[in-house]
Amino acid sequence: MNNALTAPSLCGAFRNRFKIGAAITGRMTDDPDYRALIRRHFSSITAENGMKPEKLLDREATLQKGDPIRPAFHFSPADQMLSFARENEIAVRFHTLAWHNQTPRWFFAKNWDNAPDAPLAAPEVMLARLEAYIQGVMEHVNSQYPGTVYAWDVVNEAIEPDQGGPGCYRTKSLWYQTLGESFVPAAFRAARKHQAPGQKLFYNDYSTFVPAKKEALTALLQKLRADNLVDGMGMQAHLQWDKMDIAACEQAARAFGNLGLTLHITEMDIHCPFRDEAHQAQLAQCYRDYFDMLLRLNREGYDVESVSFWGVTDADTWLTYFRKEGSWPLLFTGDKDVKPAFDAVLEAAKRRI
Ligand code: XIL
């Protein structure tokens, strides 16, 4: 097998098509082998967890500050990654501003109360906190690391048809419970105010290929687009090797693209609980078909700008925990060798589609 550190550069092969990215952790930026691998193969990075609200919010300092609206931040983990990106001229997708997960409950509570059943803050307080949070993060990043972030995931996973509700909003989200569906345009309005020139604002979600979800997302994006609040759609692409429906993925991408949105594949992995040669060859085929589809869309004029994998090697995939079984879903082995899936993606770049 070919070692990842000497194999042809993946992002180099896609240079004229789209950025190739990966979700990374702080541990990786401290590790010389990971640093070299990331530099070689990726032209975009996303913090797998390091830029989420739970990582940026500092409750102790917020309480000390005594401001009921503006929280205090600790930016050092995010800064470490932003510095790595800047030093290596790698573009950053910022993930994520408004999300129901990995945002501490106290952020939604009256008086920043940490008790699990503390009363939620009033809607006008939450609206002001949402704006203050977005302003605080965007001002920090754009003043300290100008030109580093090219895309912001402004709202993540607001829609979930399984939860019913008008418009299919995820009703259990504390953003929804405090502000209703208005939190979505409010977040985008705040981000518009504080974005730097050239940055694009994204809505990001999973299972975008499921017809009911695609419809609900299209309706939401259409409204946001009409008010010029959104620039791009992030399709997470957490897929499974035995349940691939590329045609459905393509239809969703076309639906979002037809709204005039830039398309990012933001969190690609293809769950495969088998590491043997035959299954890994099938995984490679899944990646080949998916990339062929993206390249075809690009050729037709759809603005597929960036494709990111959710993790770097099979040793650091989140799927092992999420699926509660082994998973070998990515392009590099835990030993940082390239896999058949790597060759398949590389070859897709060379095919004239
Ligand atoms: C996941 C991370 O990979 C895990 O390490 C963490 O424990 C939970 O979150 N959709 C998203 C990502 O938008 O932020 C999630 O990341 C995966 C699903």
Tens digit of pLDDT for each residue in 133-151?
999 999 999 999 999 999 9
| Residue nearest to ligand 1 atom 9, measured at CA | 49
DSSP state of 133: H
Question: In sequence order, what are the beta bridge partners of 269?
Answer: 238
pTM: 0.98
Residue entry with tokens 């952790």: 25
Q: How many angstroms separate the alpha carbon of residue 300 from the centre of ligand 1?
A: 32
Q: HSE, CB side, 13 Å, CA atoms: give it for residue 337.
A: 6
Q: Write out pLDDT tens, residues 217-228.
A: 999 999 999 999
**Cβ atoms of residues 77 and 50 within 8 Å:** yes
Strands 72-73 and 57-58: antiparallel
Calculate the dihedral angle through the C-alpha atoms of 315, 318, 321, 323, rounding to the nearest 10 degrees: -110
Which listed residue (157, 160, 181, 305) is catalytic? Answer: 157
- The best mutation among 318, 319, 327, 330 to test binding of ligand 1, ranked by most ligand atoms within 8 Å of the C-beta, falls on 318
Lowest mean pLDDT among 152-161, 165-174, 275-284, 326-335: 165-174
Q: Is 60 exceeded by the pLDDT of residue 210?
A: yes
Report the DSSP beta bridge partners of residue 46: 23, 93
Q: Which residue in 321, 327, 97, 71 sits closest to 201, CA to CA?
A: 97
What is the pLDDT of the chain when averaged over all its residues?
97
89 catalytic per annotation:
no
Q: Is 43 in the pocket of ligand 1 (CB under 6 A)?
A: no
